[in-house]
Amino acid sequence: MKILHTSDWHLGRGFHGTSLREEQTEMLSRLCAEVEEQQIDLVLVAGDVYDRALPPEWAVKLLDDTLYSLIQAGAQVVVTPGNHDSAQRLGFTSRLTTAAGVHLRTQLADAWTPVSFTQEDGSQLLVYGVPYLEPQLCAEELGLQKAHHTSVMTEVLNRIRQDAADRGESATTVVMAHLFAARGIASESERNIGAPAVPEESLDHHEETVGGLAVVPLELFEGFDYVALGHLHGRQRLAERIRYSGSPLRYSFSEESQGKGAWLIESTELADPGSAITGLDWQIGREVKRLKGELDSILDPATVQRWSEAFVQITLTDDERPERAYQRLREVYPHLMQYSYAGAATQREATTYSKKFAEAATELDLVASFLDHVRHRSADDEELALVEQALQEARTA
């Protein structure tokens, strides 16, 4: 079977206050087209279908349209909820949709109850869809003394192995899970699920801390033919058979250089995962770009031409804060989402203003030091003349 591994659609999400409705519609249209062109048999959606428990109406309709299109294209679909989803709402009508080929695995017991498929060679493919499991809510039901992600996944995977063994047949086993796995690289756009994630850095499993136990060790997944992970937004390979598909769209500036797309798997070829698994590269929606430097360099025509249509984050490093910098940048970067100044003026000692206040010989010195403090830019001659005029008028009055 041809399998497409995707996750983290986050339908309903925006980008720094800007709607991504058009981009998300394009994203799922591309996915459906890929399924049809590649003649994909099975689509795995490993969590965070929606961005919040109560998604906007258009996002619900978009999901409905997408699932219908996938079924019309001849594919079946297995969907698990992520930490952003409401498992109960996403799982509504799950028993009915199963008959149509959409398998919603939203309950704890679903984790070790596979969706079974017959492959072209007659062998079985078992897909175990593990929904996002909040340790504090499911540890007692699993009979665990300690409630953390590692203990929960250890018990769930043990039950999955037992179920596969009880079936007494040679089958290809695929596990879907939504969690923070060891060696995964985080982004700014993922909600914390207990792991002390730093954007663009990886984490490993540690037995000594609660945060370390929230990172699930890769060794737990040994023995499965493929592990389709969701949660982290960068497409990444943690091991040959353990992979994150990442989000198809960029949802933060930390995803600037991440590969976006999905994984395509030939299930009967997984004895050699290097050749059985292929990355699908997608470029959907606006690019995102972080620009840092002096104002003149960021306003350079070549730079503006390259990034004027991207979502940009700009950090200025001029020695003094340039006059009207934000306005000038917005004129050429209409999709400026974040702006900050980190030049030399911000590095001055915190006591600078209080010292100047104490040392000010005249009212003009006092106002000039205040302007310098709040703007990170000294007053020019014209401004000083205006201040002096205002002070003189105040004295006269």
Same domain, 355 and 340: no
Residues 315-335, mean pLDDT to the nearest whole number: 94
Residues 214 and 354 in one domain: no
The single-letter code of the amino acid at 225 is D
202 lies in the same domain as 229: yes
Average pLDDT score, the chain: 92
Spatial neighbors of 397 by CB under 8 A, at least 6 apart, are none
- Residue 95: its pLDDT value, please? 86
- Would you say residue 393 has pLDDT above 90? no
Alpha-carbon span 137 to 119, nearest angstrom: 36
> Which CATH number does the domain housing residue 80 bear?
3.60.21.10
Radius of gyration of the chain (CA): 27
Domain check: are 321 and 229 in the same one? no
Structure tokens at 241: 């058979």
DSSP designation for 220 = G
pLDDT band at 395 (very low <50, low <70, confident <90, very high): confident
Q: What is the rounded average pLDDT of the residues 267-273?
A: 94
Neighbours of 148 (CB within 10 A): 21
Confidence category of residue 313, pLDDT binned at 50, 70, 90: very high
Same domain, 90 and 160: yes
Domain count of the fold of the chain: 3
**Residues 275 and 384 placed together within one structural domain of the fold:** no
Cα dihedral 78, 279, 14, 134 in deg (nearest 10): 50
pLDDT at 362: 78
Contact present, 261 and 281 (Cβ < 8 Å): yes
Question: pLDDT per residue over 180-207, tens digit each?
Answer: 999 999 999 999 998 888 888 888 898 8
CA 100/CA 69 separation, integer angstroms: 12
Contact 222, 156 (CB under 8 A): no
User: pLDDT, tens digit, for every residue of 334-389?
Assistant: 999 999 998 877 665 445 666 666 677 678 878 887 887 777 677 888 888 898 88
Select from 281, 315, 338 the last residue of a domain: 281
CA 223 to chain centre: 28
Cα–Cα distance for residue pair 99/101, rounded to 1 Å: 6
Residues 153 and 302 both lie in one domain: no
- Within this chain, do residues 93 and 167 fall inside the same structural domain, yes or no? yes
**Closest by alpha carbon to 231, among 3, 4, 9, 2?**
9
What 8-state DSSP symbol labels residue 11?
B
Report CA dihedral (114, 273, 44, 164) to the nearest 10 degrees: 0
Q: What is the DSSP string of 108-159?
A: GGGGGS-EEEE-TTS-EEEEEE-----HHHHTTTTT-SS-SHHHHHHHHHHH
Say how many CA atoms lie within 13 Å of 159 toward its Cβ: 17
CB atoms closer than 10 angstroms to residue 391: 15
Whether the per-residue pLDDT at 94 is higher than 90: the answer is no
pLDDT per residue as tens digits for the range 23-61:
999 999 999 999 999 999 999 999 999 999 999 999 999
Are both 328 and 384 inside the same structural domain?
no
Q: Of 247, 281, 315, at which residue does a domain stop?
A: 281
Same domain? For 84 and 228 the reply is yes
Query: In this structure, are 266 and 337 located in the same domain?
Result: no
Question: Strand pairing partners for 125?
Answer: 117, 172
Tell me the backbone φ, ψ of residue 281, rounded to 5 degrees: -100, 125
Contact between 38 and 264 under an 8 Å Cβ cutoff? The reply is yes
Paired tokens of 34: 């890929």
Pairing of strands 226-230, 215-216: unpaired
Model pLDDT, residue 209: 82
Same domain? 146 vs 238 = yes
Task: Give the burial class of 69: count Cβ atoms within 10 A of its Cβ; 0-12 exposed, 13-18 middle, 19 or more buried.
Answer: middle
What pLDDT was estimated at residue 277? Answer: 98
What would the pLDDT profile of 211-257 be if each residue is shown by its tens digit?
889 999 999 999 999 999 999 999 999 999 999 999 999 999 999 99
Query: Which of 286, 287, 307 has the alpha carbon at shortest distance from 297?
Result: 307
pLDDT in tens, 129-157: 999 999 999 999 999 998 999 999 999 99
The pLDDT of 95-104, averaged and rounded, is 92
Structural domain including 119 reads 2-281
Tens-digit pLDDT profile for residues 240-253: 999 999 999 999 99
Q: What is the pLDDT of residue 348?
A: 59
The DSSP output letter for 30 is H
